[in-house]
Structure 1
Amino acid sequence: MSETGKAWPFRYDHPVPWDTAFRPRLLHELLSEQAGKAPGAPFLDFMGRRFTYGDIAEKVAIAAAGFRRMGVSKGFRVGLFLPNCPQYVIAYYAVLMAGGTVVNFSPLYSEDELIFQVQDSGTEIMVTLDLEQLYPLIAAVKAKTELKTLVVGNLPEVLPRVKGLAYRALRGGDRAAVDYGPTVRRFSDLLDGPPLAEAETLDAHSDTALIQYTGGTTGRPKGAVLTHANLSVNAAQVNSIDPGTPGNNSILGALPFFHVFANTCVLNRTVIAGGWIVMMPKFELTEALALIERHRIASLPGVPTMYQAFLDHPNIAKHDLTSLEICISGGAPMAKELRNAFIEKTGAKLVEGYGLTESAGVVSCNPYESGGKPGSIGQPLPGTSIVIVDKEDPETVLPQGERGEITIAGPQILTRYHNRPEANETTFVEGRLRTGDVGYLDADGYAYIVDRLKDLILVGGFNIYPSALEAVLYRHEAVKEALVIGIPDARLGERPKAFVTLKEGAAANVEDLLAFLNAHVGKHERAAALEIWDALPKTMIGKLSRKELEEEEAAKRAATELM
């Protein structure tokens, strides 16, 4: 049963029963268990260096003892300011084994964003690398906050020996000068000593594993408090609907581990499955193609812009991607044409899923075997309920087919935000999470998203959904990407404004595109303006982002008012 106490009322198309129960686990015990089963099995491949489950489990136990010596115990917050690298995996599980709480920090954050999150979360230790784009920034943050200690690693220590020597010789300029001392420690020091004799006694249901900050599309980001149970069960839910690839349980770790999507779908899910991860510090298309071919990668979680990048590669036909079997797209809606084109090129199963930071990663997914329904976010994961409620009165559940706010209940859903009592009071209704997404359920129990409540454009009292206008623009043969935002209008309150990028070689001008859009929407929906950009802003995982466009438009208005 779900947390609402009601079974899923539709036919369930995933390969396991909807009421399948998953035992909550401590995350570090998942790793220890796999290492006990198959210590020699491959776990991580980082730029050609292979680490087995036994290798990483041993390093985790030693690093956990190192963190314990630094004062980490139950509830102590340790930040990870890292790209995808072995140090991330080691530190992640070691902090948890020592009893601490991990706080993820995006390497794309500004200094102000880092300062806010350090102070809000109460992070006292930060793990990072000695890279120029990371260390000087976090050192500056340390000087301005209560952050007490930096633990600094480097890439040569986790590269194959020859690559490590070459990196030191040829790319020394990428590394920052680090003044090591009592409050700036070497990552290698964590691995110098005996393993932790006894892991902290924790409760999977009540003890926090991760404070994961939301994207901050409106106002300050909020820290979602996720327990070991939230994360371990969500990883088990995701694994249960994955048919897997017999003899090849490999996955490309291109999505950043500091994001909850990859944390669940790439890292924790792979540990549960006993698979191995080919890690990329960041997504680079040419390297990704090479890794898929070289390692015969079977699984590729990504976002629509990643799949589009594959198709846009001028030499895609020369690459053998036939090893790909299982691909899941999340983070943003995927155009049916993009999905079909990727499937045609690779033969892989590509399905859309849906999740939030507050859901530990994943809420729903289309079934892999059938492919589900294009444009849908699929059916909920086992034990998860999706309920549509009235946007104005969230206590009123709407009949099947009607559009309203999507609410969710399930074992992966957070119970609270960190330091946000006001948000905790308004986020839940009758035990379900209010997502802020507008959608509906069809006759088969497949969920569809119309838009976000906060993204509504109010035009003369009419509600305009940006995604509806974006869908029209995508129908134009020249349009590659599209975003629509609301801009102030003296008469109507707001009017839509569109931003697009064009496909390579396409010819179109602003006037033609604006005329095309406005000819296919209602009078009240017509856009006031349109701009063609070389590239549209994206979030840290590649999702198209309206936030930057809204900020730029606001800055333009402010500058005009000062003239």
Structure 2
Amino acid sequence: MGFNLATMLRESATEQPEAPLLHFGARTFDYREVDALSGRVAAGLRAAGLRPGDKVAVQLPNVPEFVFAYFGILKAGMVMVPLNPLLTAREIAYHLADSEAELLVTFEPFAEEAVRAAGSEVPVHAVHQGAEPPEGTKSFEQLCADEGTGEIAAVDAGDTAVLLYTSGTTGQPKGAELTHFELFMACTVGGERFGVSREDVSVVVLPLFHVFGLVTVLGPVIRFGASAVLLPKFDAGAVLDAVEAHRCTIFSGVPTMYFALLGQELDGRDLSSLRAGISGGAAMPEEVLREFERKVPNIVVLEGYGLSETAAVATFNFSAEERKVGSIGRPLWGVEVKIFDDDDVELPPGRERIGEIVIRGHNTMKGYYRRPEATEEAFRNGWFHTGDLGYRDEEGYFFVVDRKKDLIIRSGYNVYPREVEEVLYAHPAVQEAAVIGRADPRLGEEVVAVVALQDGTAPDTEELLAFARERLAGYKCPREVRVLDELPKGPSGKILKKSLR
């Protein structure tokens, strides 16, 4: 079956060419402009000698050129490889070599590392503001200098559209191959259930090089002809300014972003246009969700769940009427989710029936690029094994307990860090919390809490320990609390337990 994901942009541009698509600073790009500019990128890639199926790495923050490059690569029938702009030269070199990228698009502040990584093997084009591109690069404008023909390359729906690298928290990053069909279904099914329409204006502050921002946030915007406000990085004040200036209706973020927004002075801010908040990437503490909805009129915060390997989303709470706070919701249309034990046998519903979350459906990746053994292991018995622990209730709602690798076993008892973190977040002095295991010669593992505190609060660790003891069984309670100014986070704002360990 022939289908190119870039058709989403072309169809929306045909239906409403003058409708705004991207707001960035003082500039607005309508659908016709974005369609034309991405066509010029496609023509430039072809003129550079690249062919359908070639990989093009894009190392950009949330700037309009990211969107031009993304759809230009798709229109040329090539494969996009999104990269975090903050990667070092060593890390960039690994991704370029592993993906077999033929060209790299980067951003001026990060060009030095990109050039070092690319060497003489991979040409580098830079988005820049000065008169000349950074040393060792060619201008992004040069890449799209040719007039685009508007042609969209014919590809198979099962061809890889995006090679998205996993975070590497359990080893070297692996490239998840996401196809044109998988990404189209993710944008369509999620957007339909969420009610995205032309009237919506979405805040795009989650990084577009991450699956959450690229697929869950930007994808439905273009699929359903909505508008997006691009913010290059998360700043709570800038997000609130954008909501007021553009009357934004949807905000998508990870829990740490919601917490940061709550730390702003919201009285006097007109946030009445917000109808929905999407949360993912980590568990949303119920205290944070309730407080956010109390302070922001009209908004309903809905949680979902997914991974890079499942095109961002697998389950979701789709409305205020259907949601269960604390749950990751129910499966998307066409997606099956089950709970398996260690022998890959399905477990019945029940809070005590905790096992691994497994998924199959139109949203699961084609496989890990050039890693057949890892692909085979991930898809044991035809199901994608997520590595996340959870359970299902009698009504079909799923709950994530923790990462399988984050599980702490203390004296033979299972301790799920998320449960302990929920308790710590309920303390008024705690701004961020993460619970990890520390090796213990007597108990196997000991429970350690790492927290960042609210401004103006004193780090009374004994008080926090007492607070936890009042609310948790003894074996679950942290025996140690460490206080940091800020917890380390990944590019999407998710707390990095690997760094804490």
Shorter-chain-normalised TM-score: which range? Answer: over 0.9
Aligned-residue offset at 1:456 = 1.3
Superposition TM-score, scaled by structure 2 size: 0.95
Q: Does 2:271 correspond to 1:321?
A: yes
Could you tell me how far apart the structure 1 residues matched to 2:152 and 2:247 are?
Answer: 37
Contact 2:435 2:449 in 1 (8 A): yes
Could you tell me how far apart the structure 2 residues matched to 1:121 and 1:455 are?
Answer: 29
Where relative contact order (Cα < 8 A, 6+ residues apart) is larger, the structure is 1
Task: Give the corresponding residue for 2:122.
Answer: 148
Could you tell me how far apart the structure 2 residues matched to 1:378 and 1:363 are?
Answer: 9
**One of 170, 175, 192 as aligned partner of 2:145:** 192
Cα gap change, 1:177/1:273 in structure 2, threshold over 3 Å: closer, same or farther?
closer
Could you tell me how far apart the structure 1 residues matched to 2:431 and 2:235 are?
Answer: 20
Contact 1:243 1:368 in 2 (8 A): no
The superposition leaves residues 346-373 of structure 1 with CA deviations (integer Å, 9 ceiling, x where unpaired) of 2212111111000111111112241501
Mean alpha-carbon deviation: is it higher for 262-271 or for 454-463?
Answer: 454-463
Aligned-residue offset at 1:328 = 0.7
Contact 1:24 1:228 in 2 (8 A): no
Could you tell me how far apart the structure 2 residues matched to 1:329 and 1:191 are?
Answer: 36
Aligned-residue offset at 1:519 = 5.0
The residue matched to 2:267 in structure 1 has which SS? Answer: helix
The superposition leaves residues 153-184 of structure 1 with CA deviations (integer Å, 9 ceiling, x where unpaired) of 22x4xxxxxxxxxxx6xxx9xxx96236xxx3
Please tell me the residue identity of whatever aligns with 2:63. Answer: C
The superposition leaves residues 340-397 of structure 1 with CA deviations (integer Å, 9 ceiling, x where unpaired) of 111122221211111100011111111224150110001111111111111x211x11
Please tell me the residue identity of whatever aligns with 2:164. Answer: Q
Could you tell me how far apart the structure 2 residues matched to 1:70 and 1:425 are?
Answer: 36
Task: Give the corresponding residue for 1:220.
Answer: 172
Contact 2:287 2:425 in 1 (8 A): no
Could you tell me how far apart the structure 1 residues matched to 2:373 and 2:469 are?
Answer: 41
Contact 2:327 2:398 in 1 (8 A): yes
**One of 135, 145, 158 as aligned partner of 2:111:** 135
Aligned-residue offset at 1:507 = 3.6
Contact 1:488 1:495 in 2 (8 A): yes
Could you tell me how far apart the structure 1 residues matched to 2:295 and 2:466 are?
Answer: 33
Aligned-residue offset at 1:228 = 0.6
Task: Give the corresponding residue for 1:248.
Answer: 199
**One of 25, 30, 52 as aligned partner of 2:8:** 30
Mean alpha-carbon deviation: is it higher for 116-125 or for 354-363?
Answer: 116-125
Q: Which runs of 5+ in 2 are unaligned?
A: none
Taking the TM superposition and a 5 Å limit, the aligned residue runs for 1:89-168 are 89-131=67-109, 134-143=110-119, 147-154=121-128, 156=129
Aligned-residue offset at 1:224 = 0.5
Could you tell me how far apart the structure 1 residues matched to 2:101 and 2:152 are?
Answer: 21
Task: Give the corresponding residue for 1:399.
Answer: 348
**One of 259, 284, 289 as aligned partner of 1:308:** 259
Taking the TM superposition and a 5 Å limit, the aligned residue runs for 1:326-365 are 326-346=276-296, 347-365=298-316
Q: Which runs of 5+ in 1 are unaligned?
A: 1-22, 157-167, 551-563
Cα gap change, 1:337/1:384 in structure 2, threshold over 3 Å: closer, same or farther?
same
Cα gap change, 1:25/1:348 in structure 2, threshold over 3 Å: closer, same or farther?
farther
Mean alpha-carbon deviation: is it higher for 214-223 or for 519-528?
Answer: 519-528
Task: Give the corresponding residue for 1:475.
Answer: 426
Could you tell me how far apart the structure 2 residues matched to 1:491 and 1:369 are?
Answer: 47
Contact 1:300 1:328 in 2 (8 A): yes
Cα gap change, 1:413/1:524 in structure 2, threshold over 3 Å: closer, same or farther?
same
The residue matched to 1:413 in structure 2 has which SS? Answer: coil
Q: Does 2:491 correspond to 1:540?
A: yes
The residue matched to 1:108 in structure 2 has which SS? Answer: coil
The residue matched to 1:382 in structure 2 has which SS? Answer: coil
Aligned-residue offset at 1:194 = 2.7
- Give the root-mean-square deviation of aligned CA atoms: 1.9
Aligned-residue offset at 1:459 = 2.4
Task: Give the corresponding residue for 1:266.
Answer: 217
Cα gap change, 1:377/1:64 in structure 2, threshold over 3 Å: closer, same or farther?
same
Please tell me the residue identity of whatever aligns with 1:178. Answer: P
Q: Does 2:81 correspond to 1:84?
A: no
